[in-house]
Amino acid sequence: MQKRKLGNSGLEVSAIGLGCMGLSFAYGPAMDRQEAIKLLRGAVVRGVTFFDTAEAYGPYKNEELLGEALAPLRQQVVIATKFGFEFDDKGGQSGTNSRPEHVRDVAEASLKRLKTDHIDLFYQHRVDPNVPIEDVAGAVKELIREGKVRHFGLSEAGAQTIRKAHAVQPVTALQSEYSLWWREPETKVFSTLEELGIGLVSYSPLGRGFLTGTINEDTSFGSGDFRNLVPRFAPEARKANQALVELIGQIAARKSVTSAQIALAWILAQKPWIVPIPGTTKLHRLEENIGAASVELTPDDLRQIEASLAAVEVKGDRYPPELQARVDR
């Protein structure tokens, strides 16, 4: 597996990481625990060193899973987790909370669940409008000083917030959705990230599965699947967005690779400081995603993809309204 550095921080990770949310949360029932542990350890064997989780995934269950699976391999991996929410008695999110004392409490709890003495990359999961970002950065700075956290990250933050945070504690990475069907970071934050030497961790790089070509307007999702709430996954939007999937499929066929591999290779080709973190519950999909790191897209390939994309208009918002309000702050 090729390695990449997230910006100027020196944090080196596998070129393709593993987003672990779906093992426990969001896309239906949690994966069988022993099977999930087998998948996580299998990812390490195959060269993946970068694993992404959050206290919110479950909540708590995903961190506990990673703690059990990766403890024997801790020196070989980089673990990223996130803070910034409150939870009610039923495990639902009851609002943001990035008050410094809460950041510290979450860090201590996450360390225990992850069975480790340090968090490699600690993200603010969503910007908290009630807490100055300078205070948040200061709280993480103190955790870094104590050795409990190695690097500070933000998720779905806007350029102004990134700058304010970075002035207090250097930001190693911004985690945001970025893919062939969500390219807004290019115009909103890329120049800021490049200027400040911050890496981008691309979540949902396969469009929550849509860009793989395995979902169409007739696909039905289980009752616990988050995609049921996403406007972009409404049947009419899926029908309209098939044009993008067909385009990717044509390029993949020409290169004798899969659609997922084209989608991931395209991200890798954009900037050397971008690392996608596709998620999966299946070993063969994990291997397929890892294979994308070896797919070479030539300048001519990239020009053709760009020209073709210009003719495709993606339909539907990427979040329902109540969640859309929490991004790009």
Residues 177-208 pLDDT 10s? 999 999 999 999 999 999 999 999 999 999 99
DSSP 325: T
Q: Helix, strand, or coil here: 80?
A: strand
Give the residue among 211, 207, 178, 208 at the shortest CA–CA distance from 193. Answer: 178
Instruction: Give pLDDT, residue 8.
Output: 97
CA distance 10 to 172: 9
Of residues 274, 266, 272, the one with CA closest to residue 306: 266
Q: Is 189 helix (H, G, I), strand (E, B) or coil?
A: coil
Q: What is the pTM of this model?
A: 0.97
Q: Which residues are registered as beta bridge partners of 100? A: none
Is residue 265 within 8 A of residue 209, CB to CB? The reply is no
pLDDT of residue 210: 97
So which residues are the catalytic ones?
Answer: 57
Instruction: Yes or no: say if 115 and 77 are a contact pair by the CB < 8 Å rule.
Output: no
**Segments in the chain below pLDDT 50:** none
Query: What are the chain's domains?
Result: 3-206+270-295 (3.20.20.100)
Strand 85-87 and strand 78-83: the pairing is unpaired
pLDDT of residue 89: 85
CA atoms within 13 A on the CB side of 284: 1
Q: How far apart are alpha carbons 120 and 142 in whole angstroms?
A: 14
Greatest C-alpha distance within the chain: 54
Cα–Cα dist 42/53, whole Å? 17
237-295 pLDDT, tens digit each: 999 999 999 999 999 999 999 999 999 999 999 999 999 999 999 999 999 999 999 99
**CB 115 within 8 Å of CB 71:** yes
User: What per-residue confidence (pLDDT) applies to 140?
Assistant: 99
Burial bucket for residue 2 (CB in 10 Å: 0-12, 13-18, 19+): exposed
175 with 153: CB under 8 angstroms?
yes
